[in-house]
Amino acid sequence: MTSPSAPTRLMLVTPPVTEAEPMAFRLMQAFAGGDVAAVLLRLGEGDDRSRIERVKRLSGPVQAANVALVVEDSPLVATRGGADGVHLTQGLEAIAEARSSLRNERIIGAGHLRARHDAMDAGEAGVDYVMFGEPRPDGSVPPLAAVVERAGWWAEIFETPCVAYAPDAASIPALAETGCEFIALGDWAFADEVDLRALVAEANAAIAACLTRKVVR
């Protein structure tokens, strides 16, 4: 038998949010389904003032549930809205600027890492996590096998946490097997026909089953 490792946890990646209240309701549904570590908040169009207000309205209920709130691509909006961190997709320069302005007071994550060296560069720049497999700008997603390979490679070698993006519920067990610290559930999880509470419960059950198998091996 091997020693148990820390369980993989869930991150929820929202669709672009234009109104805070409906999203707050959906997130509370998700949290009722079980453990969620973080929410990556993607914001719809608007000026900084309106976007900051949306973050403020969501940061309270999310953080009250002991869940971290990370805002995509805007350190200014994230900080003024009271979020826990920012998720950056524009490369090393944006990471360096965010690290300089935020110091160690906020989470800084990195996404849209298309090659291994991009991820290693981000890790060396001091990010708090890297994400693999999220949708490309055209909405397509990498093949699941490629995400499994990349997440497994990273989790085995590096200490910086890794987030693996799940393109659907069926992919969760394979991603959990990689040993990644987090699995992200994206836009598809927020579709009207999806029972988000049940999805979170099922995802956590799949992760727990994977951990049990590892312990028994």
How many distinct structural domains can be found in the chain? 1
Q: Is 173 part of any domain?
A: yes
Q: Is 3 part of any domain?
A: no
Q: Is 105 part of any domain?
A: yes
In tens, the pLDDT along 141-175 reads 999 999 999 999 999 999 999 999 999 999 999 99
What local confidence, expressed as pLDDT, does residue 50 receive?
A: 97
Q: Is 210 part of any domain?
A: yes
Residue 154: which domain range? Answer: 9-216
Dihedral angle over CA of 204, 143, 158, 2, nearest 10: 50
CATH number of the domain to which 175 belongs? 3.20.20.70
Instruction: At 84, list the tokens.
Output: 């826990």
Query: What is the phi/psi pair of residue 123, to 5°?
Result: -60, -40
Q: Is 1 part of any domain?
A: no
Q: Is 191 part of any domain?
A: yes
What local confidence, expressed as pLDDT, does residue 177 receive?
A: 95
What local confidence, expressed as pLDDT, does residue 1 receive?
A: 28
What local confidence, expressed as pLDDT, does residue 2 receive?
A: 35
Handedness of CA 45, 46, 47, 52 (dihedral sign): negative
Q: Is 29 part of any domain?
A: yes
Q: Is 2 part of any domain?
A: no
In angstroms, rounded to a whole number, what is the distance separating the alpha carbons of residues 156 and 148? 12
Grouped pLDDT means (10 residues each) for the chain, 217 residues: 65 97 97 98 96 97 98 94 96 92 90 94 96 90 96 96 97 96 96 97 95 68
Is the pTM higher than 0.85? The answer reads yes
